[in-house]
Amino acid sequence: MKRAGVAPDGYVFPSVLRACAQSGRAEVGAVVHRDVIARACEANVQVCNALIDMYGKCGHVESARRVFDEMGDRDLLSWNSVMSGYIWNGLHGSAVELLPAMRSEGLDPDIVTWNMVMDAYCQMGLFDEARNVLEQIEEPNTISWTTLISGYCRIGKHKTSLEVFWDMVNAGKVWPDIRTLSSALTSCRHLGALVIGKEIHAHGIKTESRSSFYSSAGAALLTMYAKCGKIQEATRVFEQMDKSDFVTWNAMILGFVDLGYGNSAIVCFIEMLNLGIAFDQITISTLLPVCDLTLGKQIHAYIQKNSSLSGVITWNALIHMYSKQGCIQSALSIFSNMETKDIISWNSIIGGFGMHGHGEAALQLLQEMKVSGFQPNSVTLTSALSACSHSGLVHEGLRLFNSMPSFGLTPAMEHFACVVDMLARAGQLEEAVELIRKMPSPPDKRIWGALLAACQAYHNVDVACLAAEALIHLEPDHAGHYVTLANIYAKAGRWDDAVRVRKVMEGQKLVKPFGYSWVEGLRLDLEPRLAWLVDHLEYYPQLGLAELVVYFFARPEHEIRVQEKKKGRSLHRVMMIN
């Protein structure tokens, strides 16, 4: 245009400046600004408003304010533009401060102004003020409601977020849009509000096209279903979505992992690879916890060949994977070679050494962590205390537990559970009980479970009864607690008590599920009773193993009484508690 000798005017400059704002070309916008001045267009309100908008969106908020202050005449758009620039650049307080000055010039805020003020208040955490603004607006629009709904969702006040959502729906004047529905679904996911989530799902399909709704809110929807334990519904949504976006695949893989469908997560990942869908560090970190060692190594090799997947998130996930698989040296090698570490890195390697009984190494890493400038958090102390428990470092563990206030931490349930487990493993059952009695809050099943498990090893029936009764009170339908108590009675020779516990189980129709083990590529259901039968085959010389299995599993009770003589000794009661 300029080459053709045509001079730009007050209609052309705003269009060019809008293009600069959208592309982030501040340097080009500055050239246009000089041209505006050269052609004496700086008095044009529309041109100045476009300059303010361009500078604000390009991060030059001082230049935007300078243009605003030099304007002779300012309209409502001028105020909104400079306010938007402040909010765009995170200067929310400065945006709100403009409101009184705006009114002093005789201008009343419009819906755009109020929405920006609400957004600024939400970003500053001033939600009461934001809600007051919403109540002052005569006719709030969808953006007004969504600003408050998404704000509450962002800070974790999900119940309040849904309350505002229903206020919006019940008002009946405006309809939720995709962003509103996505925020509401996120709150449903955190609250486990399946019924409300289904209603939002139906509303989204009714008001939007299915493809539009799923493309924008599909990930939030399937994640909501997965978090509520409805994997089939999540899969159904996934099958109807556009699968070109890796965010969708990440959500589905996470859903499978969270619900314990590790194989399905791996199959989903393989399908993702076959379709050529690019994945990111989130995909890798989500999948690695369910990988066996072979697949984990393959993913590790792939990461090493693709630098875009290399980062703190993936290295942390690899440390956890190798630690869980028992390859602690591989985990340490990754940790040592990390250029940048975060607190999760330290927690992962400390926890890895701890779970394999390397308590002293874990405590040494804790010291190195503090020297490196990282402040241990609650997870760090849980990992370190667990390391002491698995390594028999009772003195060190108690000292660490008592030092928690020096880290600014108050012992939580998981810390008490580690210390109780540590004392119980060391045979200090009375000390463990004393600690439980001093707890500021009622102990949960982890604490009583650790105590009960130790009672089996040390044959302490009195403490076992205390722990078992507490567990049965917390989980009256959990058959395993009854079985453990019956085992302890049996080992102590208290057969009548063992039978009594068994009869209680039978009366409540409680059955302990059979244990099973995982082998790469194959799940084997290994029944503990069969192992017991093999060990006791000599007591039934007249039966072969196959006949014995049929004989035993055909019996309704889980007790075998043998009253016979064999090799000159009397076999009184042989109790089998699976």
My answer on whether 468 and 535 are in the same domain is: no
The residue type of 497 is D
Percentage of the chain exceeding pLDDT 70 = 85
Residue 4 lies inside a defined structural domain of this protein: yes
Q: What's the rounded Cα separation, in Å, for the pair 54 and 16?
A: 10
Query: Among residues 512, 531, 550, which one ends one of the domains?
Result: 512
My answer on whether 500 and 531 are in the same domain is: no
Residue 528 lies inside a defined structural domain of this protein: yes
Under the banding of pLDDT at 50, 70 and 90, the label for residue 456 is: confident
My answer on whether 452 and 567 are in the same domain is: no
Mind listing the pLDDT tens digit for each residue in 392-432?
Answer: 999 999 999 999 999 999 999 999 999 999 999 999 999 99
Q: Output the pLDDT for position 130.
A: 94
My answer on whether 448 and 559 are in the same domain is: no
My answer on whether 5 and 89 are in the same domain is: yes
Query: Among residues 471, 491, 512, which one ends one of the domains?
Result: 512
My answer on whether 450 and 535 are in the same domain is: no
Please, what sign has the CA dihedral across residues 220, 224, 227, 231?
negative
Residue 547 reports pLDDT greater than 50: no
Residue 555 lies inside a defined structural domain of this protein: yes
My answer on whether 498 and 528 are in the same domain is: no
Residue 235 reports pLDDT greater than 50: yes
Domain limits at 449? 412-512
My answer on whether 425 and 536 are in the same domain is: no
Nearest alpha-carbon partner for 50 in 91, 93, 9, 109: 9
Q: How many CB atoms lie within 10 A of CB 506?
A: 14
Q: In this structure, are residues 312 and 303 in contact, taking their beta carbons and an 8 Å threshold?
A: no
DSSP helix/strand/coil, 166? helix
Residue 491 reports pLDDT greater than 70: yes
My answer on whether 433 and 555 are in the same domain is: no
The residue type of 68 is F
Residue 67 lies inside a defined structural domain of this protein: yes
What CATH code is carried by the domain that includes residue 507? 1.25.40.10
DSSP 239: H
Q: What's the rounded Cα separation, in Å, for the pair 31 and 392?
A: 72
My answer on whether 420 and 543 are in the same domain is: no
Residue with tokens 């607190």: 343
Q: In this structure, are residues 289 and 323 in contact, taking their beta carbons and an 8 Å threshold?
A: no
Q: In this structure, are residues 134 and 148 in contact, taking their beta carbons and an 8 Å threshold?
A: yes
Phi, psi of 400 (to 5 degrees): -65, -40
Query: Among residues 458, 485, 512, which one ends one of the domains?
Result: 512
Q: Hey, which residues does 524 pair with through a beta bridge?
A: 517
| Residue 494: burial class (beta carbons within 10 Å; 0-12, 13-18, 19+) | middle
My answer on whether 470 and 533 are in the same domain is: no
Under the banding of pLDDT at 50, 70 and 90, the label for residue 505 is: confident
Q: In this structure, are residues 50 and 17 in contact, taking their beta carbons and an 8 Å threshold?
A: yes
Q: Residue 343 corresponds to which tokens in the numbers above? A: 């607190």
Residue 13 lies inside a defined structural domain of this protein: yes
Residue 530 lies inside a defined structural domain of this protein: yes
Under the banding of pLDDT at 50, 70 and 90, the label for residue 573 is: very low
My answer on whether 545 and 422 are in the same domain is: no
Mind listing the pLDDT tens digit for each residue in 246-261?
Answer: 888 999 999 999 988 8
Residue 430 lies inside a defined structural domain of this protein: yes
The full length of the chain comes to 578
Residue 380 reports pLDDT greater than 50: yes
| Strand positions, DSSP E, 42-125 | none
H/E stretch holding 523: strand 522-524
Total-model pTM? 0.70
Q: Output the pLDDT for position 70.
A: 87
Domain count, the chain: 3
Residue 126 lies inside a defined structural domain of this protein: yes
Q: Which of 32-46, 72-86, 159-173, 312-326 has the lowest mean pLDDT?
A: 32-46
Average pLDDT for 477-488: 83
